[in-house]
Amino acid sequence: MKMKIRMLLFVLIAGILLTAGCQQAKKPYSAPKTTPSSPTQVTESDKRIMANRFSEIAKAVPGVMKATVVVAGADAAMSNATSSSKTSTTATSKLSTTSSGKIVVMVGLTLNTQNMATAAKQQSTKNMVKQRIQSNDKRVTDVLVTTDANMVKKINDVAAGLIEGKPVLSYARSAAELGKMMKTQMK
């Protein structure tokens, strides 16, 4: 009887050791490393948040009373279409709900006329706004700043439509034309 118990105990211990020894060691879980397949995507929601932040940055510059900002993908804002029908299709096809990391910021400024009597002071203020916005976000490839009343009104119209939640594609042509006009104005 003692022999049977010893034999049973030996088989039981051997079985436990064999099953414990044959199991693979558990490794701690590590999340799979993903590498982005494309540059950082910027959604329309991100662009609205950025526009608000850039507007506050611009208003903090001395001499700026009001700032309206439109953030667009570089491809849509800088479309080089020549005819109006081509502009519409080119800009619409390039503007989507997300864009690559290249961003163009269009800023319309209303300046305090008492402090900004000379063109040199106005240009200095525009340059300061441009520099502060570019240094705030490295994804910004270009900042176009204007104080022209007509251009500021167009920027206001586009910004208001985007804030109201109107379809982004409906403003593709406006953003492309605005970017093109502001680029030529700055030359």
Averaged pLDDT for residues 116-123: 85
Measured distance CA(2)–CA(7) in Å, rounded:
9
Residue 33: what pLDDT?
A: 59
CA atoms 72, 141, 65, 181: torsion sign: negative
List helix spans (H) across 24-171: 44-59, 74-77, 84-94, 119-136, 149-163
pLDDT > 90: what percent of the chain?
25
Question: Which region holds residue 105: left if phi is over 0, alpha if psi is between -120 and 50, else beta?
Answer: beta
Averaged pLDDT for residues 132-157: 90
Residue 110: what pLDDT?
A: 92
Q: pTM of the predicted model, to two decimals? A: 0.64
pLDDT band of residue 59 (cuts 50, 70, 90) is very high
Asked whether residue 56 carries a pLDDT value surpassing 70, the answer given is yes
From the options 3.20.20.70, 3.40.640.10, 3.30.70.360, 3.30.70.1350, give the CATH code of 42-186.
Answer: 3.30.70.1350
Residue with more model confidence, 7 or 176? 7
Q: Which residues of 45-72 are buried (b: 16+ CB within 10 A; e: fewer)?
A: ebbbebbeebbebbeebebbeebbbbbb
**Per-residue pLDDT reduced to its tens digit, 81-99:** 333 332 222 233 334 445 5
**Per-residue pLDDT reduced to its tens digit, 4-25:** 888 888 888 887 877 766 556 6
- Where are the domains positioned within the chain? 42-186
For residues 79 and 179, the answer to whether their CB atoms sit within 8 Å is yes
Please name the residues in contact with 57: beta carbons below 8 A apart, sequence gap of 6 or more.
Answer: 129, 132, 133, 136
**Per-residue pLDDT reduced to its tens digit, 70-79:** 888 766 544 4
Averaged pLDDT for residues 134-153: 90
Measured distance CA(125)–CA(158) in Å, rounded:
23
